[in-house]
Structure 1
Amino acid sequence: MKLLLSIIVVAMLSITNSLTAQNNKITVTVVNATSDAGKIGYALYTKDNFMGIPVAGTNGKIVNGKSTIVFENIPAGEYAVICYHDKNNNDKMDFAKNRMPLEDYGASNNVMAFAPPTFENAKFVVKDKEVSLEIKF
């Protein structure tokens, strides 16, 4: 009987943990947009799809140089966020002929280099809580 009760308790805890894992939120705020023109495009990635098709993506309005969005119902795991200031509202990041970006961009953890962001530099962990990130361009 004790064994059966133990199995039921473990099963209930597993179900509860899997349900709460889907309720995780990631709040992302860009804190230093150079203007309120356009919008901020946000993309959420895993290691497997980094810089490809994102797990989730959205746009945020800019008010007084700040923009905040929330990714909801995110399973536990490792993620990275990349965002850019779409100043001209053309829904893509613009580049010069030499492939240098013409629009500001940033990534989670704010590691900036003269190269595209990497998953290792931008990754963070989502467990059973809300994650809040501030990104600087």
Structure 2
Amino acid sequence: MKTLATLLMILLTSLIHAQEKNTYTINAQVTNVKSAEGNVIFSLHTKDTFMKGSGIKMVVATIENGVAKATFTDIEPGTYAIMVLHDENENKRMDFEATGFPKEDYGMSNNPMAFGPPNFNDAKFDITTEDKDFTIRF
């Protein structure tokens, strides 16, 4: 009987471990928001979703004292990038000048200093063993 009970405990423990998923949390903030108008949209992207919409997760954050913060939870290991937009007029999209330059501030993880459209390779990061924290500049 003890053998059966021990075997049952081992089986249950194995099943519980098999169902556990390692997920992580990503915290992101922008500390140099120039105005309190509108809100700041944080979007988490994979290579497949980068520059193609709202990404796999999105957080709309309020601005307090020039700072906006977002937390992405239950993130599976992988390669991601964060894009951030100061949506001053709250239309949930980036607005452009007639010349094609953005009217609203934006930024990305890793704070690349790139000219031209954002590039996933410049903004990407891996999440494999621990939570991540980012401060993104506009």
Q: Where on the TM-score scale, by shorter chain, does this alignment land: which range?
A: 0.7 to 0.9
How many residues are treated as equivalent by the alignment? 129
Query: Unaligned 5+ residue runs, structure 1?
Result: 1-7
Residue aligning to 2:27? 27
Identity percentage over the alignment? 36
CA RMSD across the alignment: 2.3
- Which SS does the other structure have where 1:132 is aligned? strand
Distance verdict in 2 for CA 1:123–1:14, change over 3 Å: farther
Cα shift at 1:90: 1.6
Deviations 1:55-82 (A, max 9, x none): 1112111111110010110100010000
Contact 1:106 1:112 in 2 (8 A): no
Partner of 1:3: none
**1:42-61 correspondence runs (5 A):** 42-53=42-53, 54-61=55-62
State the SS of the aligned residue for 1:110: coil
- Residues 78-118 of structure 1: per-residue CA shift (max 9 Å, x gap): 10000110111121111012221000000000002221211
Which of these two proteins has the greater Rg computed from alpha carbons? 2
User: Which of 15, 18, 21 lines up with 1:15 in the alignment?
Assistant: 18
Quick one: which amino acid aligns to residue 40 of structure 1? V
**One-letter identity of the residue aligned with 1:75:** E
Residue 120 (structure 1) shift: 0.5
Partner SS for 1:58:
strand
TM-score normalized by the length of structure 1? 0.84
- Aligned residue for 1:128? 129
2:80 corresponds to 1:79: yes
Unaligned runs of 5+ in 2: 1-10
